[in-house]
């Protein structure tokens, strides 16, 4: 799988996880803020647990709070994967 295909698959899976933890399941945009969309800190924690279980990447809660958007989470996943591969 190419890096682009992996990023696309990750983004799709993250969007699915994201929707599961919003008050109403719906489509989400990449730059939509999780908390502005009705999400809360428990939901954010559950998203990070789902990310670890589904993608194998442990994103710190602090990182999520710094960029609480779908695109921000996808970028964090890519960055953390790259760090793990270079270690």
Which residue segments constitute the domains of the chain, with CATH numbers given?
A: 3-24+32-86 (1.10.1200.10)
Residue 86: is its pLDDT beyond 60? yes
Can you tell me the distance from the alpha carbon of 79 to that of 6, in angstroms, rounded to the nearest whole number? Answer: 13
Q: In the block, which residue shows the tokens 């945009």? A: 29
Here the tokens at position 51 are 């990310």
Here the tokens at position 75 are 């970028």
Can you tell me the distance from the alpha carbon of 84 to that of 76, in angstroms, rounded to the nearest whole number? Answer: 12
Can you tell me the distance from the alpha carbon of 2 to that of 31, in angstroms, rounded to the nearest whole number? Answer: 24
Q: What is the pLDDT of residues 10-69, one digit of tens each?
A: 899 999 999 898 888 777 888 989 999 899 999 999 999 999 999 999 999 999 999 999
């Amino acid at each position: 799988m190419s890096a682009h295909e992996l990023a696309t698959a990750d983004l799709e899976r993250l969007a699915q996880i994201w929707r599961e933890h919003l008050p109403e399941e719906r489509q989400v945009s990449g730059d939509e803020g999780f908390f502005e969309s009705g999400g809360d800190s428990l939901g954010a924690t559950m998203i990070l647990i789902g990310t670890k279980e589904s993608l194998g990447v442990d994103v710190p809660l602090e990182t999520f709070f710094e960029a609480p958007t779908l695109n921000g989470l996808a970028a964090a996943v890519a960055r953390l994967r790259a760090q793990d591969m270079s270690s």
